[in-house]
Amino acid sequence: MTARGQDMILGLLFAGLGLAAAWQATGYRGASGTYPQVLGLSLAGLGLLLALKSLWRGARVPRPLVDHPGRVAVTVAIGAGYLALVPVLGFYAASALVAVVLPVALGFRRPLYTLLAAAGFMAVVWLVFTGLLAKPLPTGFWSGW
């Protein structure tokens, strides 16, 4: 898509967001509502302005959102999967898993190196957060044992 098209969509998106925020803020009493209303309307106005400006004289040059769509998709999907697994598997199990799986998914083919790096890294994280700081981390279903 061209920069012009992107900026138009971005402008309209923010205009919508601003209007929604302003509309939501009408429900807040007194000065608590005025301030977000002003902000919401400003955002809507600026968004529209951006959309119009791009329509008028936006650069019709392509501007790719991602350089390598495949790798971005893999990273985002595995990243989201990791966050979803943290409360289920527990922090350490899920983290160890992502540290091994993600490099492989991105095309890294040195299993021993990957495993060693992941193990070393997890050891450091464990030392700092559990050993030194004693911070409680999600334990997942292991805690029942």
Partner 1 sequence: MDLLTQIAGSVFSLGSVAAMLGASLLGVLIGALPGLNPVMAIALLLPLTYSMEPLIALGMVAGIYNGSMYGGAIPAILMRIPGTPAAIATTFDGFPMTQRGEAARALKIACWSSAIGGTASALALMTMGPLLARATLHFGPAEYFWIAMFGMASIGVLVGDDALKGLMAAVLGLLLGTVGLDNLSGIPRYTFGEPWLLGGLDLVVILVGLYALPPVIALAEQADLKGLSAAALKLGRARLGWAEIRGLIPTWLRSSFIGIGVGILPGAGGNIAAFLSYSAAKSASPDPDSFGKGNPQGVAAAECGNNADNAASMIPALALGIPGNVVAALVLGALLIHGLQPGPQLFHQNPALVGGFMAQMLITSLLILLVGGAAATRVFAQVQRLPGVLMVPMILVLMAVGVYVINGRVVDLWVMFAAGLAGYVLEKLAFPLAPVVLGLILGPMAEQSVRRALLISRGDATELLTRPISAVIAVATLALILWPILRAWQRRRHGAKAP
Partner 2 sequence: MKTLMLGAAALVLGTTVAQADYPERPIEITVPAPAGGGTDTSARMLATLLEGELGTSIAILNAAGGGGSVGVTQFMQARNDGYSLLATWNSPITTVPQMQPTAYAPDSFVPVASTSQTAYTLCVAPAFPAETGEEFLAELAANPGRYTYGNDGIGGTMQLAAERIFQARGIETIAVPFGGAGETLQNFLGGHVDIYGGSISPVLPYAQSGEAKCLIVTSAAAVPALPQASGLEALGLGDKETLLWRMVLAPAGTDQAIVDRLIAALETTVNSPQYTEFLAGVGEVPNVVTGPALGERLQGEFDALAEVAQSLGLAQ
Segment 12 to 71, residues that bind partner 1, using CB under 8 A = 14, 17-18, 21, 24-25, 28-32, 35-36, 39-40, 42-43, 46-47, 49-50, 53, 63-68, 71
Angle subtended at Cα 76 by Cα 75 and Cα 81, rounded to the nearest 5 degrees: 100
Q: How far are the Cα atoms of 1, 41, 111 from residue 53, in angstroms, in the given order?
A: 17, 18, 52
Which does residue 29 bind out of partner 1, partner 2, none, counting CB within 5 to 8 angstroms by kind? partner 1
Nearer to partner 2, 66 or 128 (CB): 128
Which residues, other chains included, contact 107 with Cβ-Cβ below 8 Å and sequence gap of 6+?
Answer: none
Query: Is 93 within 8 Å of 66 (Cβ atoms)?
Result: no
Which does residue 121 bind out of partner 2, partner 1, none, counting CB within 5 to 8 angstroms by kind? partner 1
Nearer to partner 2, 64 or 144 (CB): 144
Which does residue 141 bind out of partner 2, partner 1, none, counting CB within 5 to 8 angstroms by kind? partner 2
Angle subtended at Cα 16 by Cα 11 and Cα 21, rounded to the nearest 5 degrees: 125
What's the longest Cα–Cα distance across the chain?
65
Minimum CB separation of residue 53 from partner 2 in Å reads 39
Nearer to partner 1, 132 or 145 (CB): 132
- Cα separation, 45 vs 14, in Å, equals 9
- Site of interaction with partner 2 (CB under 8 A): 87-88, 134-136, 140-141, 143-144
